[in-house]
Amino acid sequence: MTKAPFTHALITGASSGIGEALAHKLGKAGVGMVLVARRKERLDAIAAQYANCEVLAADLTTDAGVGAVLTRLRDSTRTPIDLVVNNAGFGTSGNFADADPERLSNEVSLNINALMRIAHEAIRQMQPRGRGYLLNVSSIASFQAGPGLAVYSATKAFVTSLTEALYEELRGSGIRVTALCPGLTHTEFQSISNTSGLGVPGLVNKSLTAVSTFAPRGLARRIAGFATRLR
């Protein structure tokens, strides 16, 4: 990876999957990082590999967890964050009427509310500096209703729509906003959401390495195409 156009990144959902892959890519490029996820031991293992790397263990389905991230973004005594990767999220598969409503509420809290609040604070902190980058991780599921993944698809439609609106609002401000919309990627997401048995062709399973190369610059939306399998 060539020298990054930012110096300090905050990544949510950094303990596994796409978030972890992006953390390694940025860490190898010398970018300072704040790694956010629930599982501190996993974050510690990643952070130990890179200099200038903070760990922030937080459950973003809770107000306290989101509040901890907002506090770090506002902290003027520490290195300002000029890249925010809103990656944390999960899905629930199966018929909507059969799903646990509490789980669905947590899914909406994480995929929509936490992402929105973090994006809002990130932009407010970047505006006085006149520069910054916000990457919201969405999904190709955002472009079509997904029976069996009804709430997940709806939350990702929100992410893509919000991102495209923010892109227009912030045009010319020096703050770049992009929605990364990967296809199905071999991560823990599949086991957590129970989507591994949906019969999706292997062609659409993405390599984490391939997906993590899509750190796009200046685009409202970037779709990670049907590239490779996990390798």
Q: How buried is 131 (Cβ within 10 angstroms: 0-12 exposed, 13-18 middle, 19+ buried)?
A: middle
Tell me the catalytic residues: 152
145 vs 141: CA distance, rounded Å: 7
44 vs 40: CA distance, rounded Å: 6
Both structure tokens of 201: 């062709």
One-letter amino acid identity for 13? G
37 vs 89: CA distance, rounded Å: 10
Between the two ends of the chain, the Cα-to-Cα distance in Å is 18
